[in-house]
């Protein structure tokens, strides 16, 4: 039940996205107009479930130590890299495989492909990254991430950055083209697989109940963390927009992780969901189902399948925190950096002394330009040439000609310094 409320029929020849609308009356699936918010219950797994509570505590514990591994300036640079990675995997879940190098070209150099299809996907990627940057830098809407206001803000900020080609859906029966308006709730019926989300008129009531159920100040610390997976599913169950629901749900989850203190710009749940995409989709669909008898809670929907999805979601989060913690362990990271830089120096792609500068950048965070000679052991002119080359090739960056040097992560380095960050190839 990901992203679109319609069955996607993407044409490789056209960047326009087309959908097959479901004629609900024709298929005999018309729901009542008096939909009650109880159709969405339960909103959380039962209290006292030891397994899921242990997962929540484990996530909080592991996440708390991740940021301490790196200086703040390096964390900021890694944040840029992880946002790009998060965007890549979130798009991959939707079937949009945008190469990381194409994302880097668009984001860093505003270099967009002449191929219309690739260009559209680059623009889509940049839109996602820019919205996540607002979230990470706390420049987002200062509201509860599960509030209607925030959810509509996410959709509006994402969609307003998209090219026009991606903001239309089409009814193949009537030929009618509908505009996907940024931040606007859908105004018609949709079907997602076998699930029929609430009718358009009922959306405000369901979203109000959604916001009330997941308001953080009403939940204990452990219940806040458990609620992350439940909210992720229930927003997709509501399916408030014609398009963009999957990305909005993942951005909302990222914001919620940050707000409850376990999230970080250093790891991405989207990577874990994409690498387990079949389980992700299957468990989302399973959580749409009605309860299975008297031993399956007292809500309209299954408590067991909601709990299973929440356990999966938290397990994925823990796995991604552990993965990034291992990649960012300083000694191992320095070893991979040294091997790669030595190869580049031997090939004539980087000057001698490069590793010493990059090591200092990793360990110190910021390096005054005047220390380049001391660090490399070279004279002023040769040390300046090393710095200039590293800046030009993207291994270092600086806010200005006199500003300190900061470690950067060009794609050539990423593939060696952070193995398995992206899929092979």
| pLDDT attached to residue 351 | 96
pLDDT in tens, 357-386: 999 999 999 999 999 999 999 999 999 999
Contact 70, 409 (CB under 8 A): no
Do 278 and 412 lie in a common domain? Answer: no
Question: Does residue 58 sit within a domain?
Answer: yes
Q: How confident is the model at residue 138 (pLDDT cuts 50, 70, 90)?
A: very high
Q: 36 pLDDT exceeds 50?
A: yes
Round to whole Å and give the CA distance between 306 and 310.
6
Question: Does residue 257 sit within a domain?
Answer: yes
Do 164 and 253 lie in a common domain? Answer: yes
Segment 272-292 shows an average pLDDT of: 96
Closest CA to 365 of 134, 76, 97, 91: 76
| pLDDT attached to residue 27 | 39
* Residue linked to tokens 């899921």: 52
3-state secondary structure of 19: strand
Instruction: Give the count of domains, the chain.
Output: 2
Q: How confident is the model at residue 13 (pLDDT cuts 50, 70, 90)?
A: very low
Q: How confident is the model at residue 5 (pLDDT cuts 50, 70, 90)?
A: very low
Do 255 and 346 lie in a common domain? Answer: no
Which residue range(s) make up the domain with 385? 330-417
Do 342 and 219 lie in a common domain? Answer: no
CATH of the domain at 351: 1.10.10.10
Locate 350 and state its tokens: 């980087």
Do 395 and 280 lie in a common domain? Answer: no
| pLDDT attached to residue 416 | 94
Question: Does residue 425 sit within a domain?
Answer: no
What distance, in Å, lies between the first and last C-alpha atoms of the chain?
28
Question: Does residue 1 sit within a domain?
Answer: no
Contact 98, 84 (CB under 8 A): no
Do 225 and 369 lie in a common domain? Answer: no
pLDDT in tens, 190-249: 888 888 999 999 999 999 999 999 999 999 999 999 999 999 999 999 999 999 999 999
Do 289 and 301 lie in a common domain? Answer: yes
Segment 91-103 shows an average pLDDT of: 89
| pLDDT attached to residue 212 | 97
Q: 46 pLDDT exceeds 90?
A: yes
Q: 4 pLDDT exceeds 60?
A: no
Round to whole Å and give the CA distance between 96 and 151.
23
User: Angle at the Cα of 97 (from 285 to 394), degrees rounded to 5?
Assistant: 130
Regarding predicted confidence, which is higher, 65 or 178? Answer: 65
Regarding predicted confidence, which is higher, 13 or 52? Answer: 52
Please say which residue of 300, 327, 354 terminates a domain: 327
Q: Which long-range contacts (CB under 8 A, 24 or more apart) does 137-144 make?
A: 140/255, 144/211, 144/214, 144/215, 144/216, 144/259
Q: How confident is the model at residue 175 (pLDDT cuts 50, 70, 90)?
A: low
Spell 13-45 as b/e; 16+ CB within 10 A means b.
eebbbbbbbbebeeeeeeeeeebebebbbbbbb
Contact 228, 312 (CB under 8 A): no
Do 72 and 21 lie in a common domain? Answer: yes
Round to whole Å and give the CA distance between 107 and 84.
9
Cα torsion through 148, 226, 252, 262, rounded to 10: 130
User: Angle at the Cα of 368 (from 367 to 369), degrees rounded to 5?
Assistant: 110
Please say which residue of 293, 327, 361 terminates a domain: 327
Write down the mean pLDDT value for the chain: 88
Do 364 and 320 lie in a common domain? Answer: no
Do 371 and 297 lie in a common domain? Answer: no
Question: Does residue 60 sit within a domain?
Answer: yes
Question: Does residue 422 sit within a domain?
Answer: no
Question: Does residue 80 sit within a domain?
Answer: yes
**CA 188 to the chain's CA centroid:** 28
| pLDDT attached to residue 32 | 43
| pLDDT attached to residue 142 | 87
Do 17 and 83 lie in a common domain? Answer: yes
Question: Does residue 423 sit within a domain?
Answer: no
Please say which residue of 285, 307, 327 terminates a domain: 327
Do 318 and 343 lie in a common domain? Answer: no
Segment 252-265 shows an average pLDDT of: 94
Q: How confident is the model at residue 110 (pLDDT cuts 50, 70, 90)?
A: confident
């Amino acid at each position: 039940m990901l992203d679109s409320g319609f069955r996607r029929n993407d044409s490789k020849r056209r960047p326009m996205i087309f959908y097959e609308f479901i004629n609900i009356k024709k298929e005999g699936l018309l729901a009542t107009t008096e939909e009650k918010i109880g159709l969405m219950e339960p909103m959380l797994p039962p209290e006292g479930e030891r397994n899921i509570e242990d997962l929540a505590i484990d996530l909080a514990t592991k996440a708390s130590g991740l940021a301490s591994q790196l200086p703040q300036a390096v964390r900021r640079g890694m944040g840029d890299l992880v946002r790009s990675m998060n965007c890549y995997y979130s798009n991959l879940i939707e079937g949009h495989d945008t190469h990381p190098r194409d994302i880097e070209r668009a984001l860093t150099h505003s270099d967009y492909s002449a191929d219309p299809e690739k260009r559209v996907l680059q623009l889509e990627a940049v839109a996602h990254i820019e919205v996540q940057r607002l979230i990470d830098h706390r420049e987002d809407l200062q509201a509860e991430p599960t509030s209607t206001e925030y959810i509509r803000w996410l959709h509006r900020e994402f969609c307003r950055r998209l090219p026009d080609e991606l903001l239309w859906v089409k009814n193949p029966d009537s030929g009618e083209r509908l505009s996907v308006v940024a931040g606007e709730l859908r105004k018609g019926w949709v079907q997602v697989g076998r699930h029929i989300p609430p009718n358009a008129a009922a959306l405000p009531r369901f979203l109000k109940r959604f916001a009330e159920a997941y308001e953080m100040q009403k939940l204990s610390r452990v219940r806040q963390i458990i609620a992350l997976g439940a909210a992720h599913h229930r927003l997709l169950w509501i399916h408030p927009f014609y398009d963009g629901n999957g990305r909005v749900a993942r951005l909302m989850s990222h914001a919620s992780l940050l707000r409850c203190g376990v999230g970080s710009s250093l790891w991405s749940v989207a990577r874990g969901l994409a690498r387990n995409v079949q389980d992700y989709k299957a468990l989302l669909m399973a959580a749409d189902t009605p309860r299975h008898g008297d031993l399956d809670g007292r809500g309209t929907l299954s408590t067991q399948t909601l709990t299973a999805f929440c356990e999966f979601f938290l397990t994925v989060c823990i796995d991604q925190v552990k993965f990034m913690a291992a990649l960012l362990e300083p000694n191992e990271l320095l070893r991979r950096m040294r091997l790669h830089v030595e190869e580049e120096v031997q090939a004539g792609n980087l000057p001698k002394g490069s590793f010493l500068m990059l090591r200092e950048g990793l360990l110190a965070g910021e390096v005054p330009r005047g220390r380049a000679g001391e660090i490399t052991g070279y004279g002023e002119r040769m040390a300046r040439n090393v710095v200039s080359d590293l800046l030009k090739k993207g291994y270092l960056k600086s806010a200005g000609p006199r500003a300190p040097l900061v470690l950067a992560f060009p794609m050539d380095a990423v593939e060696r310094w952070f193995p398995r960050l992206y899929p092979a190839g």
